[in-house]
Structure 1
Amino acid sequence: MIPVTYFDGRSSRAHAATLAVDAGQAVLRDADGAELRRASLSSLRVSERVRRAPRLVTFADGAFCQVSDHAAFDRLLADTGHQEGWVAKAQNSWRMAGMAVAALVAVLVLGYYVLLPWSAAHMARAVPAALEAQLGRATLASLDNGLVEPTRVPPAEQARIRTGFASLKRPEDPGHDYQIVFRRGGRLGANALALPGGTIVVTDELVSLAGTGAGMLGVLAHEAGHIAQRHGLQQVIQASAVGALAAYMFGDFSSVLAGVPAAMLTLRYSREHEREADAYAIEIMQRNRLPPSALAEVLVALENQGRNADKKDSAPRAHEEEPPLDDFLSTHPHTRERIEALRAAGS
């Protein structure tokens, strides 16, 4: 018999009472020992134990008892054969709670580094080619809307670069229509951007630095690798994981892909994507008897250019309204590692 506070469900008045178990039934008596009610144990609902909070025993009609003596109540429950669920036990065990937190962290880490990239790759490949091409046109329109200017590269140089790229022996990629377009980069600086669908934007500044020979073809082959393997879409989908997952499940990519044009302009390729694009470029250059080290030398020139620019002006100038955007090295990170790998491939 344990002391309880009884509420009959008809008023807010609290009644001092006792609760006991007799012949498989719960018996509630008032302070004078008079029986208030009796009910089968199977008809009662017992609240989970939450530290020092009072527990509730609720009758079928909504009346309930509030129990504060946890030790006595646990003994009473044990005598009736009542078993707490594992969730209730976990809620009151620091060890199990700690294990649950550790498991959650492990699942999140595994999901972020393994499951999310794997899912994004599959979803990117599920985007129809026509929709991908439309996204590429939208991204180019965003670039042309004030970020870049018409190119000043002479038509003869443009033709030389386009002809050189078109003559390369490349892996079959029927889903993409490769086109090279030129723009004066301005705040983009020396850069090349791989847009969905097959368009590669080359800035005048990159042409000035890399020329029209093997180094430029290496850059274009690298960008073609990003396009062929849809790295840009994968990165965008990873950045929009929740919406992308819903799109993949329900078949509507419009909500996710509407933000692709803006996202492509601030894209950061992962280390693995850079390795894959470099491997793609190395394969093309070797197939066409071009030295992979030519691409490495372009990266070195870009690295030196960036280092010299930092020395000349380490702080933003007062008259600049906007800070410069990232160049090829910051949108294609891990430069030193890539240079060494490219040189090794050519040796």
Structure 2
Amino acid sequence: MFLTLTSRSDICAGKVTGSFYDGVSSRAHQVTVSLKGGKCAITGNSINRSFPFSGIVVSEPLNGAPRLLRFPDGSSCEVPDSPAFSAFLAQGGHREAFVVRIQRKWRLVAVSVVVLVAALAAAYQWVLPFAAEKLAYQLPAKALTLISQQAMANLDGKFIEPSALPADRQQQLRDRFSRVAFPPGAFVVTTIQFRTSKFAGANAFALPDGTIVFFDKLVDLADTDDELIAVFAHEAGHAAYRHGVRQMIQSSLVGLVLAAYIGDVSTLAGALSGWLLEANYSRNFEREADRFAAAVLKQNNLSPALLGAFLMKLEQDHRRKNRASGSKNLFDYLSSHPPTEERARAMESLAR
């Protein structure tokens, strides 16, 4: 960088001095750059060139750094950013980019920041969920199966263990669940598995392919199989609406799109395996699954109030165990759900 003393006559004359590079070598030539009749003339020791000003590319200003004039033949000229250079550009009819102009006005910058934040908030609130839903339903069944299988492989032997329920009890429940009738247009293909875990209490979760996993403690807590049907119907709702996949997309849209594009779903399965145990659905998803469960229960001549009552029982059981242990279960089935009393009241109203 170099300094140039500029007189008022230079400013008015539309000329500046700078360092010229011919695009062939790195040698700098001290030149004078002037404007006349729409032409930009570069003159100096052994340098005498002329270009139409309209064909010159001008670099953006950057905190007082030299500006660069790029000429059509690949040569360039580095000029100090000064009042003389601004007058030079103005005489040639150059207008700085819109972004450059607003950067110089703090009010416009502040407004731009507010607009950007509002746009991002709107995208997160409405655009992202909409896009996630559309993408989730584009995933083929094979992809959902692969994600689910890999997720279970990551969980088995680390966080969950084979069920201790007798084999005949497991089969009895599978048979009972298989007889559950779904409302017209809401059929879901499900597979039932049972597991136990020292990390999780009374819990259940649905995998993207329709696999529903019941933990032994949840089965033991139920007084009747109808209560388990209520939980089954709720988890089937998550599978039917692809809540698991949609939530993952909303959490990491770019990663999912890339994985779907290149066909590598192993990373998604790894993320899903840790996330499933927490059942960390949005409250809207939980309410949607509750409404689905209510419809299923009515279809089978059962009251939606069954789900609300069992949720209250779950909450009481978790509170009792948390008080006894002095800590909160990391994988509490109700930890991320809407308030249980609110859900129970909603089920009561749907039962009427």
Q: TM-score interval w.r.t. the shorter chain?
A: 0.7 to 0.9
Tell me how far apart the structure 2 counterparts of residues 272 and 280 of structure 1 sit (CA, whole Å).
12
Q: CA offsets per residue over residues 184-226 of structure 1, 9 Å max, x none?
A: 2332110111123222111121112123332221111001111
Counterparts in 2 of 1:197-236, with a 5 A limit?
197-236=209-248
Q: 1:172 to 1:38 in 2, by over 3 A?
A: same
Q: 2:107 aligns with which of 85, 89, 95?
A: 95
Give the conservation status (yes or no) of the 8 Å contact 1:160–1:212.
no
Tell me how far apart the structure 1 counterparts of residues 174 and 299 of structure 2 sit (CA, whole Å).
18
Tell me how far apart the structure 1 counterparts of residues 275 and 62 of structure 2 sit (CA, whole Å).
47
Tell me how far apart the structure 2 counterparts of residues 239 and 6 of structure 1 sit (CA, whole Å).
51
Counterparts in 2 of 1:171-250, with a 5 A limit?
171=183, 177-248=189-260, 250=261
User: Which consecutive residues of structure 1, in runs of 5 or more, have no partner in the other structure?
Assistant: 317-323
Counterparts in 2 of 1:100-119, with a 5 A limit?
100-119=112-131
Give the conservation status (yes or no) of the 8 Å contact 1:157–1:212.
no
Q: 2:92 aligns with which of 67, 70, 80?
A: 80
Match of 1:254 in 2: 265
1:244 aligns to what SS in structure 2? helix
Tell me how far apart the structure 2 counterparts of residues 312 and 338 of structure 1 sit (CA, whole Å).
26
In terms of mean alpha carbon deviation, does 239-248 or 293-302 score higher? 239-248
Give the conservation status (yes or no) of the 8 Å contact 2:79–2:85.
no
Q: 1:203 to 1:47 in 2, by over 3 A?
A: closer
Counterparts in 2 of 1:243-282, with a 5 A limit?
243-248=255-260, 250=261, 252=263, 254=265, 257-259=268-270, 260-282=272-294
Size of the aligned set, in residue pairs, is 334
Q: 1:25 aligns with which of 16, 39, 43?
A: 39
Tell me how far apart the structure 2 counterparts of residues 228 and 24 of structure 1 sit (CA, whole Å).
68
Match of 1:320 in 2: none
Match of 1:343 in 2: 348
Match of 2:6 in 1: none
- The normalised TM-score by structure 1 is 0.81
Task: State the AA in 1 paired with 2:315.
Answer: E
Task: State the AA in 1 paired with 2:39.
Answer: Q
Tell me how far apart the structure 2 counterparts of residues 140 and 232 of structure 1 sit (CA, whole Å).
14
Q: 1:241 to 1:334 in 2, by over 3 A?
A: farther
Shift of residue 304, structure 1, vs aligned partner: 1.3
Q: 1:309 to 1:6 in 2, by over 3 A?
A: same
Q: 1:298 to 1:96 in 2, by over 3 A?
A: same
The answer to whether the aligner puts 1:314 opposite 2:319 as a matched pair is: no
Q: CA offsets per residue over residues 126-165 of structure 1, 9 Å max, x none?
A: 2222332343333333333243333333455434433332
Shift of residue 18, structure 1, vs aligned partner: 5.7
Q: 1:66 aligns with which of 74, 79, 82?
A: 79
RMSD over aligned CA atoms reads: 3.2
User: Which consecutive residues of structure 2, in runs of 5 or more, have no partner in the other structure?
Assistant: 1-9
Match of 1:141 in 2: 153
- The normalised TM-score by structure 2 is 0.80
Task: State the AA in 2 paired with 1:74.
Answer: S
Give the conservation status (yes or no) of the 8 Å contact 1:161–1:212.
no
